[in-house]
């Protein structure tokens, strides 16, 4: 086994030696695969960058002997690593070990460079070409591309074993990469699990046996017409939604190029792993109830609930109308049941409905209200003036 590990280590080294020299003078690039095939959502990792990061990692931290030790560690954990995947890999032991080695070291070195800018190389396009780092982010977020965190932590600790107390923890540099700040999460299965954990509402369900039935609500436009105020506020979690009887308070949601990728992968993970606690699926379902048309998007953007970087209201409404298709929702585990029942009661209140009818039929535009007020005030002043003149006479 020792000889086999050394052979694989030499094989990896040979790959590194064959790498072309880095250059900052590139102006013509190979078109990324996802631009060639617009229907392809998966991203194929760039192996060259992984090998370069392994090369840097070896130069700074690993000797050839330590590389062999890394391979031995991965081989010893191979069965446990494979157990995390639902699909069966057809890779043999060497291919699987090499894949885990390259991915783990790439992640460690990438996160270290994000955490400490002095470690970045001048020629590293991942930090100086936004398209590259976006693609890496996409790769790290795809559910099928996940690597069990435990093996990365083992390798990370092994690399800094002599000075482990003085380096930031792997959890710390991971949170720095995804959130650019310290987040108190120590244990997570993989990166998708981390992002879900960090997105959970402040107050979780009190009991797993509590039945909270699904309650449908009308759109944002309908709620707005009966007087519901949409109020953005800063909360601990994006999922902390409240209704106080007049105001629907929601943390702002940014709609950009990463939003769909983020939610689709978290929802897919919940669908399989957390079917009874699908907080993300419930949140998106709630938004799908609120947003049915571009007009709903416009209202939520106007009041700061949505930050639509995409710019197109039709695309935004389409996103919320389609993202929950083929997603299972347990109707008796609906986290926003209480909020929805309050909104439904408010909407169906006769006095609120009468206000809505009045606004729609007689005050469709804000200026109409001012016109009526002006007319009434003018009429009152006219009556007062006549009364004053008649009394003087």
In a 3-state reduction of DSSP, which class is residue 47? helix
What local confidence, expressed as pLDDT, does residue 203 receive?
A: 85
Q: Which of 12-26, 102-116, 245-259, 288-302 has the lowest mean pLDDT?
A: 12-26
SS3 325: coil
Give the predicted TM-score (pTM) of the model: 0.79
Q: Are 333 and 277 in contact (CB under 8 A)?
A: yes
Residue 14 is predicted with a pLDDT of 63
Mean pLDDT computed over 246-265: 92
Question: DSSP string of 140-154?
Answer: HH-GGG---HHHHHH
Q: How confident is the model at residue 59 (pLDDT cuts 50, 70, 90)?
A: confident
Helix (H) or strand (E) holding 229: strand 229-232
Q: How does pLDDT run across 202-232, given as a tens digit for each residue? A: 888 665 555 567 888 999 999 999 999 999 9
Q: Which residue has the higher pLDDT, 26 or 316?
A: 316
User: What's residue 196's pLDDT?
Assistant: 94
Q: Is the pLDDT of residue 6 over 90?
A: no
| 22 against 137, higher pLDDT | 137
Residues with Cβ within 8 Å of 41's Cβ and at least 6 positions away in sequence, in order, are 34
Question: Of residues 15 and 344, which shows the higher confidence score?
Answer: 344
Residue 145 predicted with pLDDT over 90: no
Distances 232 to 14, 62, 224, 281 between C-alpha atoms, Å? 55, 49, 15, 21
pLDDT at 324: 82
Higher pLDDT, 381 or 315: 315
Chain centroid, CA 380 distance in Å: 57
- What secondary structure letter does DSSP report for 161? G
Residue 288 has pLDDT above 90, yes or no: yes
Residue 131 banded pLDDT, cuts 50, 70, 90: confident
333 DSSP assignment: B
- Kindly report the average pLDDT of the chain as a whole number: 80
pLDDT of residue 272: 84
Band of the pLDDT at 153, cuts 50, 70, 90? very high
């Amino acid at each position: 086994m020792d000889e086999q590990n050394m052979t694989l280590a030499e094989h990896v080294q040979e790959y590194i030696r064959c790498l072309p020299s880095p250059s900052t003078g590139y102006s013509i690039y190979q078109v990324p695969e996802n631009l060639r095939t617009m229907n392809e959502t998966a991203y194929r990792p760039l192996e060259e960058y992984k090998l370069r990061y392994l090369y840097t990692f070896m130069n700074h931290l690993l000797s050839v002997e330590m590389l062999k030790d890394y391979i031995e560690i991965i081989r010893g954990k191979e069965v446990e690593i494979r157990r995390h995947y639902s699909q069966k890999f057809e890779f043999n032991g060497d291919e699987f070990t090499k894949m885990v080695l390259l991915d783990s070291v790439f992640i460690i070195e990438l996160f270290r460079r994000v955490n400490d800018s002095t470690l970045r190389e001048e020629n590293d396009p991942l930090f100086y070409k936004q398209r590259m780092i976006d693609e890496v982010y996409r790769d790290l977020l795809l559910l099928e591309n996940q690597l069990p965190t435990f093996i990365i932590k083992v390798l990370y600790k092994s690399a800094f074993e002599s000075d482990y107390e003085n380096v930031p923890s792997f959890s710390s540099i991971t949170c720095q990469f995804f959130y650019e700040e310290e987040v108190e999460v120590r244990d997570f299965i993989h990166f998708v699990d981390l992002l879900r954990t960090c997105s959970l509402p402040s107050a979780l369900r009190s009991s797993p046996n509590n039945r909270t039935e699904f309650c449908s609500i009308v759109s944002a436009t309908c709620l707005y017409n009966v007087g519901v105020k949409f109020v953005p506020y800063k909360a601990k979690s994006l999922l902390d939604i409240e209704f106080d009887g007049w105001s629907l308070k929601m943390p702002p949601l940014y709609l950009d190029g990463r939003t769909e990728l983020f939610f689709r992968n978290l929802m897919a993970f919940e669908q399989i792993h957390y079917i009874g606690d699908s907080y993300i699926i419930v949140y998106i379902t709630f938004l799908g109830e609120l947003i049915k048309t571009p007009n709903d998007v416009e209202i939520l953007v106007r009041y700061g609930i949505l930050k639509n970087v995409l710019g197109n209201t039709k695309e935004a409404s389409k996103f919320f109308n389609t993202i929950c298709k083929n997603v299972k929702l347990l109707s008796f585990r609906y986290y926003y049941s209480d909020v929805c029942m309050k909104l439904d009661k408010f909407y169906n209140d006769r006095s609120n409905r009468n206000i809505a009818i009045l606004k729609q039929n007689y005050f469709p535009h804000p200026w109409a209200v001012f016109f009526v007020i002006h007319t009434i005030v003018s009429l009152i002043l006219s009556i007062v003036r006549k009364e004053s003149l008649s009394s003087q006479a």
